[in-house]
Amino acid sequence: MAAAKVHDLTNGSGRQRAYTEIRARILRLEFSPGAELEEGALCTLLGLSRTPIREALIRLASEGLVVLQRGRGARVAPLDISNLRTFFEALDLLQRAVSRLAALRRTGEDLAAIEPHIQAFEESGKRVESLDMAESNYRFHMAIAVAAHSEYLERSYSRVMTEGLRVARVCFSEENDREAPPLSAHVDRTTSEHHALYNALLQQDADEAERLAAEHTILFRNRVAQTLIPIDGLLSHLRV
pLDDT, position 105: 98
- Chain region(s) in the chain for CATH 1.20.120.530: 81-238
Report helix, strand or coil for 196. helix
Query: What is the fold, at CATH topology level, of the domain defined by 12-76?
Result: Arc Repressor Mutant, subunit A (1.10.10)
Per-residue pLDDT tens digits for 30-52: 898 889 999 999 999 999 999 99
C-alpha 145/C-alpha 95 separation (Å) is: 8
Model's pTM, two decimal places?
0.79
Mean pLDDT rounded to a whole number for the chain: 85
Per-residue pLDDT tens digits for 117-165: 999 999 988 876 677 888 899 999 999 999 999 999 999 999 899 888 8
pLDDT, position 239: 37
- With respect to CATH, is domain 81-238 assigned 1.20.120.530? yes
- Spatial CA neighbour of 19 closest among 140, 148, 143, 162: 162
Report helix, strand or coil for 69. strand
- Chain region(s) in the chain for CATH 1.10.10.10: 12-76
Helices (H), 107-129: 108-127
